[in-house]
Amino acid sequence: MIIEQDEAAGIIEKILSYSSADSASVNFSGSNSNNLRFALNSVSTCGAVDSVSVSITSNFGKKSGSVNITSIDDESLKNGVLQSEKIAKLSPDNAEFMPPPEKQTGYYEVKEYFEDTNSVTPENLAEKISYTLDKAVQNDLVSSGFSKVETKFNSIGNSNKLLAYSKSTNSSFSSTMRSKSGNGSSKVNRAYANIDLLNVRKFSDKVIDNALLSKNPQSYEPGKYVTILDNSAASDMLNNMLWTLNLRSADEGRSFFSNNSKGNKIGQKLVSDKVHIYSDPQNDLAPASPFNSEGYPIRKTDWFSEGVLKNLYSTIYWAKKTGTEYISYPSNIIMDGSDKTVEQLISETEKGIFVTRLWYIRSVDQKQMLLTGLTRDGVFLIENGKIKNSINNFRFNESPINVLKNVIDMSAAEKVVGSETGDSKIVVPALKLSEFNFSTISDAF
Amino acid sequence: MQRREFIKNSAIGCCGIALSGIMLDKAIGNNSFDSNVNEETLKSFYSFDENDFKKLADTMIFTAKNNGASYSDIRICKNRNQQISTRQEIIAGISDSESLGFGIRVLVNGTWGFASSAFIKEEDIIKNTILACEIAKANSILQKNPVELVPVKVYNDTYKSPLITNPFDIPISEKIELQLKYNKTAMTLGADYVDSFMWFINEWKYFASSEGSSITQDLFRIWAQTTPMVVDKNEGKFESVETQIAPLSMGYEYFTEFPFEKEIEACVESAKMKLKAPTVTPGKKDVIIHANNLFLTIHESCGHPTELDRALGYEANYAGTSFMTPDKLGNLKYGSDLINLTADRTQKYGLATRGYDDDGVKTVEWPIIDKGLFVNYQTTREQARIVNQEDSFACAYADSWSSFPIQRMPNISLKPSEDKMSLEDLISDTEDAILIVGRGSWSIDMQRYNFQFTGQEFWEIKNGKKTGMINDVAYQGNTIDFWNSCDALCDESEYYLGGSLFCGKGEPGQISPVSHGAVPARFRNINILNTKSQI
């Protein structure tokens, strides 16, 4: 269900009018979506979802309680308020309690809503996908994939008169093409607020080309090699690092960004000078929410500039306690690239490995930010500036910090979806690295 | 929302049937937060009765049939979720969520259609039934393998998780108090930080199909975990150890059934030891893997590859495929002769245990690996015929009213040795090995060959004795080599039912709860990595 700004504000006001708490806040959101899955060159499952969600937090003194419901009739809303108040009253004082923010001004203007995306019908979606399926059959490949369109609204209000509202759309397309022999595979995954950017034909053609190229992989020993991580693989590395850019855990000595005996590593040069990573809700490719879940503004923020750690995100409590400027967690993450294409990076590489995607990435050691995971859907050997052949998959043990230290070149940045980046909005270049640690062979294709 | 007005005016959609408004009177405003909260005003969702649901289902079935559906089903679901999280003496979050809605699945021209809504009103049921049929028709231009369902018996039944105390009857203050007590225990013993959480989950669902079944299920799940952390700021080191009491389908008796305080004390001591423990020497080693680590290895290396949809390629775009392809059924020597892995959706306390699956099929127990041999997949009604079976193993599951039911993992457990063997006996019988305890991080490839797991604690075993703690261990292996290298299992006295509430699969992503029973087992010549010397 999509509710427009004025009506949403009215409903929030109504919910707050039921409150008898010292303070209260409401997050009110809803969406309409339609999705389609395909596999074995045929449609499999699908679904339309019409949903709404109301989250109410009530505070008495330093006590709070939250409730989340999916009904918006008066009785449900009253009961929700009552329930959150009951929980708050039954809770002990929270020493770190912070009252809801005052009314905020100066949210960035962000264009996240596109009517072309909003108006897609199930027929439109099926037609787009029919191209992908036909092409797969023509090329003797087995396709699978997923496409979804969604319109959402998100509004926040509290008893301090804060009000925030956003309406957004999203359209996504992903497809994996596998060779019938089972040893070749390639995948593409893209998502844009504006469906006009979601060129299903172009992305389908590209993934089919790569799938054909990935067939009959040769075996290759694990080791540390010059490596190009395609945008998608780079996005997974970047996204994993994003979770650790937390000021409090750094200050408390439990993160890579802890400066051992005191404080954190802000101001230290930790990665290559080429690295500029920041967040900006107004980014054209990845427009993102200009406010966070409490209603605080999300502003353009540098994380790394010329390789130096510039900021870590925080909470309002920790910022006050440490006397630092409050920086919200971000709604997107952007890494600047160059003017080069990925093909150019390959053509300038004498010998190296080209990794298209990563998979099942998990933390192995937090202190070193060591991650393990695997390559997937196409690994290639580069020789004399050309893709020589496809090779087996590897398990890697590597750290995103090392990756950023070892950057020797990069392509233009693109909006991509990684294997495990979910709905995170990421714009990232392909990265050419002086080395990357492939630790064992994976027999999977 | 003008409830009464709506009922009066509710026209019979273009092809629906007239319904009495009785159930709608009860349905709307259906917040069911528990009685300890407000007895006066809260109306219970349970004031719905069986007949009300049947009437809504009849509307759906009638509408679907009129719109060309050869099969249809509806799930009306209410998922309640209470979470408490704290660190040290601080409340990190207390929340109570309830998600209510319905999902309608139809088959038109052998193609699925699905539509769902949070608004349970006759009008929305009709609207979404028609939408589901329209989607099925639109998508049928892409259909090359029309869906066929194996037959199922018709059931009119109810099922409830066996539990003694309903966790939602316990005041939230009591739960918070208990958790803060756990944190205090950890801090008193010298933890620098401690994180704790509790989850209380109730999944209620009504299922009805055009084939005549009508099934109500009330499922409960519970989990609590405390993680003490110790920090040595001078050395820039920190270590933590998590409690290993698993999520289960159980009531609030969970907290008296298991020795939480004792385990938390042990975690603090282990974390302190870990800070000082010498680092492991990597290489090929024998390992004894404790059941509280091995359950997850079972999940990843047996649970996922024996999902038939993966093996066929239906999950290729996300979760991946499987090395256990249908040509290997009945002839792959998956593990040594000691290895028997059994699927069971009826096992007591199992997270995947229920009366019926989301296809309306009664749950069963069946072998997956029999004396090392791969003998069966996990199936749904749509899949069973593909492996020439007449019945589904009842593995269809949707995590919410808004999700399409897909094949999900049953509880899959390793059968204990019938010969007497305690963990102590197994250690005494072992010359030079590493004992791996507790669930750490885990990673496996998309066909389930190559895995790398860590743990919570690692102990050196020399000449039949635990000699001391070591650190920075990961074990890495290939599924087939690994399970074939198993040469000893403990008996049922060491049985541990582990599990996860959040196994992910499908697009859009769905979570699923699943348990895995295991006993400690010994594996020969396993690749051990030192996680500190990787980069």
pLDDT of residue B391 exceeding 90, the answer is yes
Residue with tokens 């305080």: B261
Whole-number mean pLDDT of chain B?
Answer: 91
Specify the pLDDT at position B20. 30
Chain B contact for A443 (CB, 8 A cutoff): yes
| Same domain (yes/no): A190, A222 | no
> Could you tell me if B43 and B26 are in contact, meaning their C-beta atoms sit under 8 angstroms apart?
yes
Q: Who among B116, B117, B317 is closest to A144 (CB)?
A: B317
B12: confidence class by pLDDT, cuts 50, 70, 90: very low
- From A397's Cα to the closest Cα of chain B, the distance in A is 6
DSSP alpha helices (H): ranges in B157-243?
172-188
Amino acid making up residue B27: A
Mean pLDDT of B470-490: 97
Chain B contact for A439 (CB, 8 A cutoff): yes
| Same domain (yes/no): A85, A129 | yes
**Domain edge (last residue) among A211, A241, A261:** A211
| Same domain (yes/no): A191, A269 | no
List chain B residues with CB under 8 Å of A175: 317
**Domain edge (last residue) among A190, A211, A232:** A211
| Same domain (yes/no): A62, A199 | yes
| Same domain (yes/no): A362, A422 | yes
Q: Choose from B84, B129, B139 for mutation: most chain A CBs within 10 A.
A: B139
What does the pLDDT look like over A264-280, one tens digit per residue? 999 999 999 999 999 99
Contact B237 A367 (CB under 8 A): yes
List chain B residues with CB under 8 Å of A58: none
| Same domain (yes/no): A306, A204 | no
Token pair listed for B237 = 């080191």
Q: Who among B112, B234, B454 is closest to A364 (CB)?
A: B454
| DSSP secondary structure of B105-139 | EEEETTEEEEEEES--SHHHHHHHHHHHHHHHHHH
Reduced to 3 states (helix: H, G, I; strand: E, B; else coil), residue A15 is helix
**Distance, CA of B368 to CA of A291 (rounded, Å):** 50
> What CA–CA distances, in Å, run from A341 to A107, A349, B511?
35, 13, 38
Chain B contact for A2 (CB, 8 A cutoff): no
Token pair listed for A178 = 């596998």
List chain B residues with CB under 8 Å of A366: 238
| Same domain (yes/no): A138, A59 | yes
> What CA–CA distances, in Å, run from A243 to A236, A259, A291, A315, A369?
11, 18, 18, 14, 11
Mean pLDDT of B430-446: 96
Mean pLDDT of A97-107: 96
What does the pLDDT look like over B147-171, one tens digit per residue? 999 999 999 999 999 999 999 999 9
**Distance, CA of B144 to CA of B186 (rounded, Å):** 59
Chain A contact for B445 (CB, 8 A cutoff): yes
A30: confidence class by pLDDT, cuts 50, 70, 90: very high
pLDDT of residue B18 exceeding 80, the answer is no
List chain B residues with CB under 8 Å of A48: 114-116, 128, 131-132, 135
Token pair listed for B236 = 């820039």
Q: Report the percent of chain B where pLDDT is more than 70.
A: 91
Mean pLDDT of A95-100: 95
Reduced to 3 states (helix: H, G, I; strand: E, B; else coil), residue A87 is helix
Contact A359 B446 (CB under 8 A): yes
> What CA–CA distances, in Å, run from B400 to A51, B79, B117, B392, B395?
12, 7, 11, 21, 15
pLDDT of residue B9 exceeding 80, the answer is no
Specify the pLDDT at position B234. 86
pLDDT of residue B493 exceeding 50, the answer is yes
Q: For chain B, give every domain's residue range.
A: 3-191+195-222, 283-530
B95: confidence class by pLDDT, cuts 50, 70, 90: confident
Chain A contact for B171 (CB, 8 A cutoff): yes
Q: Looking at the 3D structure of chain A, how many domains does it have? A: 2
B263: confidence class by pLDDT, cuts 50, 70, 90: very high
Q: Report the percent of chain A where pLDDT is more than 90.
A: 96
What does the pLDDT look like over B104-139, one tens digit per residue? 999 999 999 999 999 988 999 999 999 999 999 999
DSSP-assigned beta bridge partners for residue B29: none
Task: Of B162, B155, B161, B160, give the one whose Cα is nearest residue B215.
Answer: B155
List chain B residues with CB under 8 Å of A148: 508
pLDDT of residue B21 exceeding 50, the answer is no
Q: Choose from A20, A29, A50 for mutation: most chain B CBs within 10 A.
A: A50
Specify the pLDDT at position B48. 62
B236: confidence class by pLDDT, cuts 50, 70, 90: confident
DSSP-assigned beta bridge partners for residue A246: A313
Task: Of A304, A224, A230, give the one whose Cα is nearest residue A272.
Answer: A304
| Same domain (yes/no): A198, A317 | no
> Could you tell me if B476 and B454 are in contact, meaning their C-beta atoms sit under 8 angstroms apart?
no
Contact B176 A47 (CB under 8 A): no
A243: confidence class by pLDDT, cuts 50, 70, 90: confident
B66: confidence class by pLDDT, cuts 50, 70, 90: very high
Chain B contact for A98 (CB, 8 A cutoff): no
pLDDT of residue B384 exceeding 90, the answer is yes
| Same domain (yes/no): A202, A227 | no
**Distance, CA of A332 to CA of A334 (rounded, Å):** 7
**Domain edge (last residue) among A149, A183, A211:** A211
> Could you tell me if B378 and B395 are in contact, meaning their C-beta atoms sit under 8 angstroms apart?
yes
Token pair listed for A71 = 């009904």
Residues 6+ apart with CB under 8 A from B424: none
Report the CATH number at residue A30: 3.30.2290.10
B6: confidence class by pLDDT, cuts 50, 70, 90: very low
> Could you tell me if B225 and B254 are in contact, meaning their C-beta atoms sit under 8 angstroms apart?
no
Fold of B3-191+195-222: PmbA/TldD fold (3.30.2290)
| Same domain (yes/no): A157, A239 | no
CA atoms within 13 A on the CB side of A399: 19
Specify the pLDDT at position B53. 86
| Same domain (yes/no): A206, A246 | no
Specify the pLDDT at position A374. 96
| Same domain (yes/no): A430, A302 | yes
Contact A36 B139 (CB under 8 A): yes
B42: confidence class by pLDDT, cuts 50, 70, 90: very low
Q: Which domain holds residue A193?
A: 5-211
Amino acid making up residue B118: A
Amino acid making up residue A84: S
pLDDT of residue B2 exceeding 70, the answer is no
> Could you tell me if A358 and A374 are in contact, meaning their C-beta atoms sit under 8 angstroms apart?
yes
Contact A39 B316 (CB under 8 A): yes
B39: confidence class by pLDDT, cuts 50, 70, 90: very low
What does the pLDDT look like over A297-328, one tens digit per residue? 999 999 999 999 999 999 999 999 999 999 99
Chain B contact for A232 (CB, 8 A cutoff): no
**Distance, CA of A425 to CA of A238 (rounded, Å):** 11
- List the 258-287 stretch of B: residues with Cβ below 8 A of A: none
Residues 6+ apart with CB under 8 A from A138: none
B26, containing H or E segment: helix B22-27
